[in-house]
Every structure is written in C-alpha cells, then in structure tokens.
C-alpha cells in the first residue's frame, strides 16, 4: 500500500517541481526574482541568477522523480529541497516580510502560513516517495481510478495553498458569487452625508463664505427636505457658525442656503 502511495508521490512531487521550475526559467523570472526574498538573501545583482539556479535544481530533481530509474536518492534530494524551501520561507518571514516568495509564479504575495504548509506538504510528499519500489506508471496500472483521485486531490491541495495562484481560481470564484448575489445589495438606501458635503462644496453659497470657514464639518442634522451642515467661521474677527441648508432630494447646488450666526446669537448677513 505504502509503495503504491509512494508511486503517486513521485508523480505529484515531480510534477510540482517541474511546474515551479518553468516559472523560474521563464521570461517573467527577473521580475519575480527581484520581488522575492532572494534579493535580500543574495543581493540585488545575484537575485536573478540565483532564482534561475533554484529553477534548474527544481527541474533536475523533478525530472529525476518522474523518469526512470527509481532511486531512493531522488526522494532524499526532494526532501532536502523542501527543507531548504522551509528555511528560505522562514528567512523571508523574518528578514524580508514585505518580499514575495517567488515560489510558483511572479504574483507578489508575502510569505504567510499557507506557504509554510505547502512546503510541509511537499516535504511529506518527498519523504513518502522514498518508499517507492517501482516507477509510477506501474502504480497507475494497479489502481487507475484511485491513482487519479489521489493525484487530483493532492494537486488541488497544493494549488489551494498557493497564494500566487489565487487570481486564477479564488478571485474568479468570489467574483462569480458576488455577481450571482451581491452580499451588500440590501444596505438601506439613505442620502449619505458625503453626498451633501460634495453638493455643498460645488455651490456658490459655499464658495462665497469658504474664506471665513475655520473648521471641518461640525454637525449635521435633517430638517424636512433639508440637511443642515454647520462649520465654525470667523467673520472679520467675530467668531460665528456658518449654517448651510442643502436639499436632500436631488442635486441642486443653486438652492443651497447659508447663514452666518455669530456666537452672540444674532444673524450676521
């Protein structure tokens, strides 16, 4: 049983390593390398060559795992690579928390718990692969349905643990859910204070006294079809309150009224 399971791990782990190496050897690698914690680890100039070197090692180990002959040392190499990966993630978390992982793509995502769990899964997968006695196609022939189920499930777990790939499946899924039923569709309809302030700021009434205003919005309340907004003002050295009445129904900045009321209480024109 464990030999059969080890056979599936050869394939999954080999596949993931080859896939990861494709990003590191591809055209977008320099961008990802500069965003990754490697920049801090080996320096700006050596980040890209180091990134590509990691990609080459991943390609090599991945290819060894998926091609015959089956040697235990391949699995040990994969385990060593995963241990190195965990150490790199720990370094990134501690020393370059803003930097990305650069593990499975050029999408900038800081190192978090998911990255560690993924490296742990790959480590366990490498350890399991060490039990292999036969090349993986033999295990596929033994129980094809179970083999496909294990490979698909494990791949799904690895994808789910990869924040770099969220934009490929998680965001579209959330976008679809919001399109089907928007969670905020039932917010009560009100006239936001912000819209009254925007209307006020575009009005001639506001422009006529803006030079006298001292404060930001002091208070606001509603009176019938009006919203009243007050500001502290200073009219020729006299402390006053500027009161604006803004229509609540519709955008009619020309209808906005203003009064300057001095602290003594009389209306100042």
Partner 1 sequence: MDSLGRRRFLSKAVLGTTAVTVVGASTIGSFAPEAVAGQRPKLDVEPGAPDPNFVDGRVRSLGKGELLVTSADRSMHRIHLTSATSVWKLRPTTADAAKVGDGLYARGVRLPDGTLAADAVWLNIVNLQVHITSIGRTALHLDHHGDRIVGHVVAGTTAAVYNSTPAVSDLSLLQVGKHAQVIGAWRPDTNEVDLATVYAAA
Contact residues for partner 1, defined by CB under 8 A: 98, 100, 108-110, 167, 171, 174-175, 178, 182-185, 187-195, 198-199, 203-205, 207-212, 214-221, 223, 226, 228, 230-232, 239, 241, 243-245, 251, 256-261, 265, 267, 269
User: Based on CB atoms, which residue is closest to partner 1, 30 or 234?
Assistant: 234
User: Based on CB atoms, which residue is closest to partner 1, 27 or 179?
Assistant: 179
Q: How far is the CB of 101 from partner 1 (least distance, A)?
A: 11
User: Based on CB atoms, which residue is closest to partner 1, 135 or 166?
Assistant: 166
Q: How many CB atoms lie within 10 A of CB 5?
A: 16
User: Based on CB atoms, which residue is closest to partner 1, 130 or 261?
Assistant: 261
Q: How far is the CB of 55 from partner 1 (least distance, A)?
A: 23
Q: How far is the CB of 68 from partner 1 (least distance, A)?
A: 42
d(CA 61, CA 84): 14
Q: How far is the CB of 39 from partner 1 (least distance, A)?
A: 15
Q: Residue 211's Cα: distance from chain center in Å?
A: 44
- Helix (H) / strand (E) containing 220: strand 219-223
User: Based on CB atoms, which residue is closest to partner 1, 133 or 198?
Assistant: 198
Q: How far is the CB of 158 from partner 1 (least distance, A)?
A: 21
User: Based on CB atoms, which residue is closest to partner 1, 125 or 199?
Assistant: 199
Break the chain down into helix, strand, coil percent, rounded to 5: 60, 15, 25
d(CA 263, CA 104): 66
For residue 159, the SS3 value is: helix
Q: How far is the CB of 67 from partner 1 (least distance, A)?
A: 38
| Cβ neighbours for 114, distance < 8 A, ≥ 6 positions apart | 161, 162, 163
Q: How far is the CB of 233 from partner 1 (least distance, A)?
A: 9
d(CA 233, CA 213): 4
First vs last Cα of the chain: how many Å apart?
93
CA distances from 170 to 163, 175, 178, 243 (A): 9, 9, 12, 50
113-129 and 144-160 helices, crossing angle to 10°: 150
Q: How far is the CB of 172 from partner 1 (least distance, A)?
A: 8
Bridge-partner residues for 257, per DSSP?
245
In terms of residues, how long is the chain? 269
User: Based on CB atoms, which residue is closest to partner 1, 45 or 187?
Assistant: 187
User: Based on CB atoms, which residue is closest to partner 1, 69 or 211?
Assistant: 211
d(CA 16, CA 103): 11
């Amino acid at each position: 049983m464990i030999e059969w399971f080890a056979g599936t791990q050869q394939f999954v782990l080999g596949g993931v390593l080859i896939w990861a190496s494709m990003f590191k050897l591809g055209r977008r690698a320099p961008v990802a390398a500069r965003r990754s914690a490697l920049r801090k680890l080996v320096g700006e100039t050596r980040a890209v060559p180091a990134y590509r070197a990691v990609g080459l090692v991943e390609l090599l180990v991945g290819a060894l795992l998926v091609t015959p002959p089956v040697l235990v040392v391949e699995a040990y190499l994969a385990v060593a690579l995963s241990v190195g990966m965990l150490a790199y993630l720990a370094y990134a978390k501690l020393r370059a928390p803003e930097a990305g992982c650069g593990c499975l793509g050029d999408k900038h995502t800081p190192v978090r718990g998911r990255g560690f769990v993924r490296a742990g899964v790959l480590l366990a997968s490498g350890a399991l692969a060490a039990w292999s006695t036969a090349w993986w196609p033999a295990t596929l022939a033994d129980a094809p349905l179970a083999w496909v189920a294990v490979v698909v499930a494990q791949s799904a777990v690895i994808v789910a643990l990869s924040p770099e790939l969220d934009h490929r499946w998680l965001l579209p899924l959330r976008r679809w859910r919001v399109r089907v039923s928007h969670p905020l569709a039932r917010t009560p309809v009100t006239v936001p204070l912000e819209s009254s302030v925007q209307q006020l700021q575009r009005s001639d009434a506001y422009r006529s006294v803006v030079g006298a205003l001292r404060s930001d919005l002091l208070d606001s309340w509603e009176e019938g079809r009006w919203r009243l907004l007050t500001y502290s003002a200073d009219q020729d050295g006299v402390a006053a309150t500027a009161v604006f009445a803004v229509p609540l129904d519709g955008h009619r900045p020309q209808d906005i009224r203003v009064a300057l009321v001095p602290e003594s209480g009389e209306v100042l024109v």
